[in-house]
Structure 1
Amino acid sequence: MSNYYRRLFPWKQLFLWLNQDHVPNYAFTHREFAVTLRNEAYLRYNSYASHIELQKDIIRLNPTRFEIGPAYTAQPKDRKLISKAAFKPILRELVFDIDLTDYDDIRSCCSEARICLKCWKFITIAVQVLDLSLREDFGFQHLLWVYSGRRGIHCWVSDEEALKLTDEQRKGIVNFLDILRGGGSRHGLKVSLTHPLHPAIERSYNILKVYFREIAFVEQDALKDPEKLSTVLQALSESEKLKHISEKLTSAKELTSFAKWEEIHKTVGQEIKNLDKKANSSFGDQRRSQRLKEALINIQLHYTYPRIDLEVSKHMNHLLKSPFCVHPGTGKVCVPIDPTQIHAFDPEKVPDVRDLLRQLDKVKLNQTGEGPQQSNQPSWEQTSLKPYIEVFEKHINKIVREKLKSKKHKAHSMEF
């Protein structure tokens, strides 16, 4: 790992991303870094005056990974020199963590730490929905999505407004985004929404319903398990017509999950149509029709809506693994992802630290032999890490440009 930290890790870019300026300020110098050593020792409250200092210490310690926390009122390494009451977090990116283990009740292709392209689609659509909501509903612009190295993804929001959010404000944002309810509703679903849907949820639903059938019934075979089929039928228990075919659906082993859902959807859809068309429909009929429509939407959201680790986002002092760390279990680098290209992202093709070091050794061999002359390029530019660092740099450049623009505007305002 020390070779990776020494030769490939983008230290300067990490500094610029956290500091948002070329001149070190408290956003970096008062920032907490925590490291996990190979003997499992966990060292917290490290802080550094520059990215060079950080780089030297990480190379010296050679941790399996390191995490980033908030910036405090004082340098974390000096926290014992001031009172506990005076040592407080004052600045922190708004962060989100989505892990596929939280989808284990609805994914059948894999479980626990294992993933494949089928279940990765849950992450793909989660990014699509959350990225849009954070931009449209909250006005955030600087969102960095980072692959966790195994089975999940992290999001770091670096807008000035996001950095200054209190814990209560963070909880408010998370509660707005979260529609899933712990152990599920009385129907066994994790979603129990009623009409009318909030416009933000309706927008998310319109995105997710496009993927619902393919993900839930083709790729995850969601209705193969009798218990899961029972959950769906129970959610639609208001349907009189469905009761007549529920036994057939339960016993017909030859029917695919997709075929079962099509039969359910057609039956319930026809019943809703009949109830809505009744010239003298009673209030009870209208309510039954409405509840069936709600149930169909809740089923779709149960199988597709993003499952956020709520506690990660609620607290300013929560630590999160740094971008470009290496996952100790897989050897894969935690690389940034362009959210507009999320559908093309394949976690299996993410650079592995061993492959990267082999690529570097090959370049070095060429340079000392008959190959090209030594280049002034950074080492990472000659490896498969290059496109991911370029995504990172593009993201950083936007942040730094906006910060510079804001500083100029403030200076101009003060002149008057």
Structure 2
Amino acid sequence: MSSQLVSSAKNDIDSDAGNSSNSSRVSASDMAFYYERLLPFRYVFQWLNHSPKPQADFVMREFAYEFQSGAYQRYNSYNNLEEFKASVIKSNPTRFEVGAVYEINPSERKSVPKSKMKPVEKELVFDIDLTDYDDIRTCCSKTKICTKCWKFITVATKIIDQALRDDFGFEHMIWVFSGRRGAHCWVSDKRARVLDETRRRAIIEYLDVLKNKGSKRLNVRRPYHPHIQRSYDILKTEFIPIILEEQNPWQNDKAAIETLCKFSNEKLNEALKEFWGDHPDRSSFQKWKDIDEVAKRTLPKSTNFKLIVEAKQDLILETLYPRLDVEVSRQMIHLLKSPFCIHPGTGNVCVPFDSRQPFDPMSSPNLHQLQREIIEYQSNDEDEKISDIDKTSLSPYIEDFRKYVTRLLKSERNGKRERDDENDLEF
């Protein structure tokens, strides 16, 4: 079967090469190739099961399939790794999504009252999407991304990751490229998984400083909360290169007036409008400096200039602070596509990445690229004893994921041992 899949994959690649508009199209045979030869089912199973041997964390968990026809199938569940892998290969979905763990097996939902189907455990997840930055990014919009606007994601993941570690004490987090224009964070600590929706809501409200993704001015008290101050200290060093220089969103005078001329001092707002009217098309960097210079030149010495400084600080937060999809984090029943799925629109692999290390989504593995790598390897009569994964650029991502899962399982064993010891002390 493997040779047939290689042949089919080669035909699909050759066909796409002749039609650039289809270069990212993913066929059913492409997906069959990937599921049978590359997807690391064992590590995905262990990651969700928290043990090498099947337990409720996996067996009672919901999975969903999305198909090329547009059909969506929920409430799948599996008894073990082998059943999980066989089902995905047989069903051949465009992607599969991971849901919550239930008290009742999801596959038995029709035989029990709906009130019994309540989620009891699920990873704490976060979703950041670049389309939520379309009001400030100028290099791309909608589904398109580039290395410039990916910096919004880089900064966002750094801030959220640090807050989860330092403020909440979580240790087991993994960030995953969504395959097109965003990133997902999965927090797998035991105490994160058992959070109810009220506590999840409290965490997301703590982190969701913007509340409405920048649709109006920020309203935060001074002095800043320690989390906001720490975030600001990170963002202020990125503001000039990312916003003022690369994105340059306020060179357009109308955009500058709408965004920048909102100070509490109306005299300053009018002076800036007049100055930019007399000096049109100044860069965002120049306009940012203009605010201070025009304020010093036109406002009386009795003016509270501290308010102007604080307004500029708030604007830095408004433009660069993470813009979170809060419902993804709040709801335990929300499903999210698994790491190592293929994005059906791009063919990109949803690979994990370290938020503390550089990651370039433009050069991350793509399914057609992986197929070419295997075909090229085999055409050179290289050693066939090595696994297909090790013939591709996907290998280091899977190895990093394996190491992460190993650490998670070790922590789970230690935590279980501690809980057992505590129970032994009870009389």
Whether the TM-score (by the shorter chain) exceeds 0.5 is yes
Instruction: Verify: 1:406 aligned to 2:415, yes or no.
Output: yes
Q: How does 1:17-416 map onto structure 2 within 5 Å?
A: 17-182=47-212, 188-189=216-217, 191-238=218-265, 240=267, 243-268=270-295, 274-275=301-302, 288-341=304-357, 344-366=358-380, 369=381, 371-372=382-383, 374-375=384-385, 377-416=386-425
How far off its partner does 1:251 sit? 4.2
Contact 2:35 / 2:89 at 8 angstroms: preserved in 1? yes
What residue identity is the alignment partner of 2:396?
P
CA contact (8 A) 2:175 2:185 kept: yes
Partner of 1:281: none
Residue 175 and residue 6 in structure 1: after superposition, are their counterparts in 2 closer, same or farther (change >3 A)? same
User: Is the Cα contact below 8 Å between 2:126 and 2:185 reproduced in 1?
Assistant: yes
Matched residues in 1 for 2:206 and 2:60: separation? 31
SS at match of 1:253: coil
- Secondary structure of the equivalent of 2:222? coil
Structure 1 contact 31–76 (Cα < 8 Å) conserved? yes
**Distance in structure 2 (CA, Å) of the matches to 1:111 and 1:124:** 17
d(CA) in 2 for partners of 1:36, 1:57: 13
3-state DSSP of counterpart to 1:235:
coil
The alpha-carbon deviation at position 230 of structure 1 amounts to: 1.2
How many percent of aligned residue pairs carry the same amino acid? 42
C-alpha distance in 1, partners of 2:191/2:87?
31
Decide whether the 8 Å contact of 1:32 with 1:71 is kept in 2. Answer: yes
Cα distance, 1:10 vs structure 2: 0.4
What secondary structure is seen at the aligned counterpart in 1 of 2:343? coil
- Farther off after superposition, 57-66 or 224-233: 224-233
Query: Is the contact made by 2:262 and 2:269 (CA closer than 8 Å) also made in structure 1?
Result: no
Structural RMSD (CA): 2.0
Tell me the SS of whatever aligns to 1:57: helix
* Residue identity matched to 2:191: E
How many residues align structurally? 395
Q: Deviations over 1:356-380 (max 9, x none)?
A: 12222233344xx4x33x32x4321
3-state DSSP of counterpart to 2:416: helix
Counterpart-to-counterpart distance in 1, 2:126 and 2:269: 40
CA contact (8 A) 2:125 2:185 kept: yes
Say whether the 8 Å CA contact 1:242–1:268 is kept in structure 2.
Answer: no
> Which residue identity does 1:128 align to in structure 2?
K
- Given that residues 261 and 269 in structure 2 are in contact (C-alpha distance below 8 angstroms), is that contact kept between their aligned partners in structure 1? no
Q: Is the 8 A contact 2:261 2:272 kept in 1?
A: no
Q: Describe the shift of the 1:5–1:183 C-alpha distance in structure 2 as closer, same or farther (beyond 3 A).
A: closer
Residues 113-147 of structure 1: CA distance to partner in whole angstroms, max 9, x if unpaired? 01111111100100111100111111111111000
Structure 1 gaps, min length 5? 276-284
Q: Is the 8 A contact 2:342 2:367 kept in 1?
A: yes
Relative distance call for 1:124 and 1:231 in structure 2 (3 A) is same
The whole-number CA distance in structure 1 between the counterparts of 2:219 and 2:298 is 21
After TM superposition, give the deviation of residue 84 of structure 1 in Å. Answer: 1.4
For 2:232, what is the secondary structure of its paired residue?
A: helix
- Whether contact under 8 Å (1:142, 1:158) holds in the other structure is yes
Using the alignment, how far apart are the partners of 1:142 and 1:44 within structure 2? Answer: 27
Query: Structure 2 CA distance, aligned partners of 1:183 and 1:204?
Result: 16
SS, match of residue 148 in structure 2 = helix
* AA in 2 matched with 1:321: K
- The whole-number CA distance in structure 1 between the counterparts of 2:259 and 2:362 is 33
| Structure 2: gaps of 5 or more residues | 1-30
Rounded Cα–Cα distance in structure 2 between residues aligned with 1:245 and 1:22? 64
Residue deviations 1:294-345 (CA, integer Å, cap 9, x gap)? 211111111111000111111011000110000111100000001110xx21
SS in 2 for 1:118: coil
Distance change >3 Å, CA 269–CA 18, structure 1 → 2: farther
Distance 1:174 1:250, change over 3 A: farther
> Compared with structure 1, are the counterparts of its residues 273 and 212 closer, same or farther at alpha carbon in structure 2 (3 Å cutoff)?
farther
1:294 corresponds to which letter in structure 2? E
Q: What is the CA deviation profile of residues 13-60 of structure 1, one whole-angstrom value per residue up to 9, with x for unaligned ones?
A: 001100111111111001111001111110000000112111111111
Whether contact under 8 Å (1:239, 1:268) holds in the other structure is no
Judge which range, 251-260 or 155-164, deviates more: 251-260
TM-aligned CA distance change 1:272 to 1:11, over 3 Å: farther
- Cα distance in 2 for partners of 1:234, 1:256 equals 15
SS of residue paired to 1:117: coil
Counterparts in 2 of 1:272 and 1:26: CA distance versus 1, 3 Å: farther
Give secondary structure in 2 for the equivalent of 1:27: helix
Q: Which residue of 2 aligns with 1:4?
A: 34
Q: Which amino acid aligns with 2:310?
A: E
Take 2:411 and 2:300, find their aligned partners in 1: how far apart are those partners?
A: 53
